[in-house]
Amino acid sequence: MNVEQARLNMIEQQIRPWDVLDQSVLDLLYTVRREEFVPPQLRALAFADIELPLRIDGVDTGEVMMAPKVEARLLQELGIQAHEMVLEVGTGSGYMAALAAHRAHSVLSIEIDRRLASFGEANLIRAGVRNVRVEFGDGALGWSDRAPYHVIIMSGSLPVLPDALLAQLKVGGRLAAIVGDAPAMTAQIVTRISETGYDTLPLFETCLKPLRNAWRPDPFRF
């Protein structure tokens, strides 16, 4: 496989047609080498327009890497700035954290699966990304120890957005999440516009595996 041609094809045929037109984001997809974050046995598919299962040492963790166009579109719409602190929930391969880290001051990435925490952290170290801290834990309701954050990225879907998570955004902060139940999910950017106000921008319909332990309201509570 001609890796650079495959990368170019990914950007020009998948990502740019998905309204990812911010040149700084497109340039970043050349800088952060996606194939170095994919499980070795799947590297031939690193640039394919599909989700990739995260298999560690031949064992399926049940988690996936998002399709490249989804990662790129969310990154563009978040508009991360160089002074900002990012919380990512769901380290996975470490790729999304690496993309965010190139734009942010720092990234805190939370992973509930120890195998993935180790895998993602190793990928980040090998790629020379020094401003990401990976922690093992359950981030389904955010990570209040370091809150508030300028940006929050949820790397698994949520049936609804819990108030406890939104409360960890700074005023002016943005959260990227895929919300709903399969097959009807919507990628959203939520901006905290005041202490009590939030603005939601729907981006596109998609479907993504749910975050482990994702909060769901009690259907019997009135």
The pair of three-digit structure tokens given for residue 90, joined into one six-digit string: 């769901």
- pLDDT number for residue 215: 82
Element (H, E) at 19: none
- pLDDT number for residue 219: 66
Q: Could you give the CA distance from residue 38 to residue 44 in angstroms, rounded to a whole number?
A: 9
Mean pLDDT, consecutive 10-residue stretches, the chain (222 aa), reads 94 97 98 97 96 92 96 98 98 98 99 97 98 98 96 97 97 98 95 98 95 80 50
Cα 142 to its chain centre, rounded Å, is 14
Q: Given its phi and psi angles, is residue 128 left (phi above 0), alpha (psi -120 to 50 degrees) or beta?
A: left
Q: Could you give the CA distance from residue 81 to residue 222 in angstroms, rounded to a whole number?
A: 41
The pair of three-digit structure tokens given for residue 74, joined into one six-digit string: 């969310």
DSSP 89-143: E--TTSHHHHHHHTTSSEEEEEES-HHHHHHHHHHHHHTT--SEEEEES--TT--
| Residue 4 neighbours by CB under 8 Å, 6+ apart | none
What spatial distance separates the first Cα and last Cα of the chain, rounded to whole Å? Answer: 57
pTM: 0.95
Q: Could you give the CA distance from residue 220 to residue 181 in angstroms, rounded to a whole number?
A: 18
- State the DSSP code for 132: E
Domains (ranges, CATH) in the chain? 3-206 (3.40.50.150)
